[in-house]
Amino acid sequence: MKETSTLLTFSAWTTYILINFFLAFLADLAQWPPRTQNFWFACITTTIGTIFTEFPLYVILFKVWMWFVIAIMDGWFSIPIVKSSIIQVLMLILDIFTMSILFYNFYKNYKTRQIILTQTYEFEHYGPELPSITSSKFWLCIMPPLHIPLNIKVFRDITYGTQEELRQVGKENESYLKLDIYVPKYSQKKDSLPIMLFIHGGNWMSMDKLIPFPQPLYLSSNNWIVCSINYRLAPKNPYPACLIDCKRALRWIKENIISYGGDPNFIAVSGDSAGGHLAALMALTANDKLYQPGFECIDTKVQACIGINGIYDVTNKHKALNPSFTEWFSLEICGKNRSDINKDDIREMLENASPEILVGRKGNLNEELVPFLIIHGDNDQLINIRSCREFVKTFRISAPNSKLVSIELPGAHHGYHFVSSPRTHYSMIAMLRFLNWAYQTSSNYNK
Which residues are tagged catalytic?
A: 273
Backbone phi and psi for residue 33, each to the nearest 5 degrees, phi listed first = -65, 140
- Please, are residues 21 and 95 in contact by the beta-carbon 8 Å criterion? no
**Cβ neighbours for 62, distance < 8 A, ≥ 6 positions apart:** 23
In single-letter form, the type of residue at position 205 comes to: M
- SS3 sequence, 89-115? HHHHHHHHHHHHHHHHHHHHHHHHHHH
DSSP per-residue letters across 376-400: EETT-SSS-HHHHHHHHHHHHHH-T
**Cβ neighbours for 315, distance < 8 A, ≥ 6 positions apart:** 326, 347, 350, 351, 354, 357
Distance from C-alpha of 282 to C-alpha of 262, rounded to nearest angstrom:
20
Counting runs of H as helices and runs of E as strands, what totals does the chain give?
Answer: 15, 8
Q: Burial of 206 by CB count in 10 Å (0-12 exposed, 13-18 middle, 19+ buried)?
A: exposed
DSSP per-residue letters across 318-381: T--S-TTHHHHIIIIIS---GGGTTSHHHHHHHHHT-HHHHHHHHHHTTPPPPPEEEEEETT-S
